[in-house]
Chains A and B, each alone.
Chain A
Amino acid sequence: EAQVTQNPRYLITVTGKKLTVTCSQNMNHEYMSWYRQDPGLGLRQIYYSMNVEVTDKGDVPEGYKVSRKEKRNFPLILESPSPNQTSLYFCASSLLAGVGEQFFGPGTRLTVL
């Protein structure tokens, strides 16, 4: 089944404790992206990747890192999480940037205490 998976789905952590949210797709897509969704602010793009080893900042990259060492995986890294990073995170992929629909993962709800 074609899908985008994210892990974990739910995470409660404390300020400053490094964490990684994984994202994996099985569709051989080149484009992958991370978004966060907050009440009243909607979806905002954090980082995106046009292909392996190519990443770029979205609207709200501060406090996040990404890597794209292989096509299928695009992990989101929070080196030192803070409470303002409490949010619902979505990973998405598409065949190419702007080509074909974007497939979204199920979301990761992160709470930073």
Chain B
Amino acid sequence: KNEVEQSPQNLTAQEGEFITINCSYSVGISALHWLQQHPGGGIVSLFMLSSGKKKHGRLIATINIQEKHSSLHITASHPRDSAVYICAVRLGSGAGSYQLTFGKGTKLSVIP
């Protein structure tokens, strides 16, 4: 069974700092998602990756399929980035299934 490990579990940063959140998984996957869960509970999809790198504003996501590892970077962090960041992976590549397994999340607090 695939395990998805995120690190760190908790992260406190000063406003303006560069932040990295890591996600590692134990078996081959065909896609990886990064999600953001706001303090109020709502969940927003940030990225879906199968290779390489994606950027959206101050957020950058990378994935290394060979090393079974992905990182989410936040540049120039801001208190509004405070949230739980969740990694999810899709096992296999069959067209008839899309099951996701999640990491337990990284709680980020950005202090002004």
List the interface of chain A (C-beta within 8 A of B).
31, 33, 35, 40-45, 48, 50, 56, 58-59, 88, 90, 92, 97-98, 100-104, 106-107
Query: In terms of DSSP, what is the predominant structure of the interface of chain B?
Result: strand
List the interface of chain B (C-beta within 8 A of A).
30-31, 33, 35, 41-45, 48, 86, 88, 90, 96-105
Residues of A within 8 A of B44 (CB): 104
- The answer on a CB contact under 8 Å between A44 and B102 is yes
B87 to chain A, nearest CB (A): 10
Residues of A within 8 A of B35 (CB): 102
Q: Which partner residue on chain A sits nearest B88 by CB separation?
A: A43
Are A48 and B33 CB-contacts (below 8 A) given A41-B104, A42-B86, A90-B43? Answer: no
- The answer on a CB contact under 8 Å between A42 and B99 is no
Total A-B pairs in contact (CB under 8 Å)?
A: 58
Which 4 A-B pairs rank lowest in CB-CB distance, beginning with the nearest? A97-B98, A101-B45, A104-B43, A42-B104
- The answer on a CB contact under 8 Å between B101 and A59 is yes
- The answer on a CB contact under 8 Å between B98 and A98 is yes
- The answer on a CB contact under 8 Å between A101 and B99 is no
Known: A44-B102, A102-B35, A107-B43; 17 extra A-B contacts, CB below 8 A, are A42-B86, A43-B88, A45-B100, A45-B102, A48-B99, A50-B98, A56-B96, A58-B99, A97-B98, A98-B90, A100-B48, A101-B45, A102-B33, A102-B45, A103-B45, A104-B43, A104-B45
Residues of B within 8 A of A106 (CB): 41-42
Bound form: Cα–Cα A55–B16 in Å: 45
